[in-house]
Structure 1
Amino acid sequence: MENKSIRFINRRGFTLIEVLFSLAICLLIVINVLPIVKIVTSKNNINVNTSFYAMGAKQVAKILYTARDIKVGGNLLYLDSDDKTYTLSLNKNRVVKEPGFDIIIRNVEELSFYRYDKNIYMCLNDGENEYHYLIATDYQLKNEEIIEDSSDETVE
């Protein structure tokens, strides 16, 4: 009779050690998963913004690939292959190409262009971070420079 009552008690539930061990494992899993989820979600938000800026900078670089007479100032002025003048400027927190008002980049608080070492850079500021992108090179040579360069070359 005693054997039956012991068997009945053992089958009724878990022992205290088993319950504590399973709770400890669950607690470790929950504690380690929450910070990982927070890090992943915050990195996704940052990458989305910077990728939009990078895509916009790439689009500006493609626009300026065939441009001539690029003038850097508060805005960027250039001539396209059809000798039409275009402007890249900031309008209501958006980088736009005018005439035509093509929106290239959104959510920009400050925009500036500058030359450094025969390269043209675009600087974007979203209020928290500043991003610099190389958008063009000032490779256009004047006629005098072409004549000087070609006179020194010898072809064999």
Structure 2
Amino acid sequence: MTDKHKPSQQLYTDAYFERGHWGLKARQTLVALVGWICVIVPIVITITAFLAVDHPQIPHLWTYREGIFEIKFIGILLLFAFVMVSLFAVGMTIIQNRKRERVVEQWPTYNPINQRKRETELEKFMDDRFGDADFRHQVRRYQVKPEQNLETEQIHELYQKQHLNDLGD
């Protein structure tokens, strides 16, 4: 079986969507409904009170002038915040697009062929030093032996050696 056709490992489970677990489903559904009610009811009360100022026939729970003034004030603050965030987002988009045109879409600053060789060389080095990739990715606990520790410039030296080999070829 090739790597492309391996079944993917499921990394999470949710008992709510599995068969059975009726108590869990009932409890979580009830909590979700209570949560939505706690969100929707205050919004409806506020909107009806705000609309009832101009249309008294709309049923409402309160009509305090201070409350209506506060709603208008918060609306103005939110409108101002929306305008400022929009200006910032548009400005950053323009800056990023200009930067991308100037820098990113230029000829690559690295050689993709050399990059692939470096990755292969590093993978071979890690396989020799710490075991194959499957082992490294699946092991839960690993004790590094003192002789396996990397020197400060060891990866850089590996790349330099690979570069000199490429020049010699």
TM norm structure 2: 0.28
* The structure with more helix, counted as a fraction of residues: 2
The structure showing larger relative contact order (alpha-carbon pairs under 8 Å, at least 6 residues apart) is: 1
* The structure with more strand, counted as a fraction of residues: 1
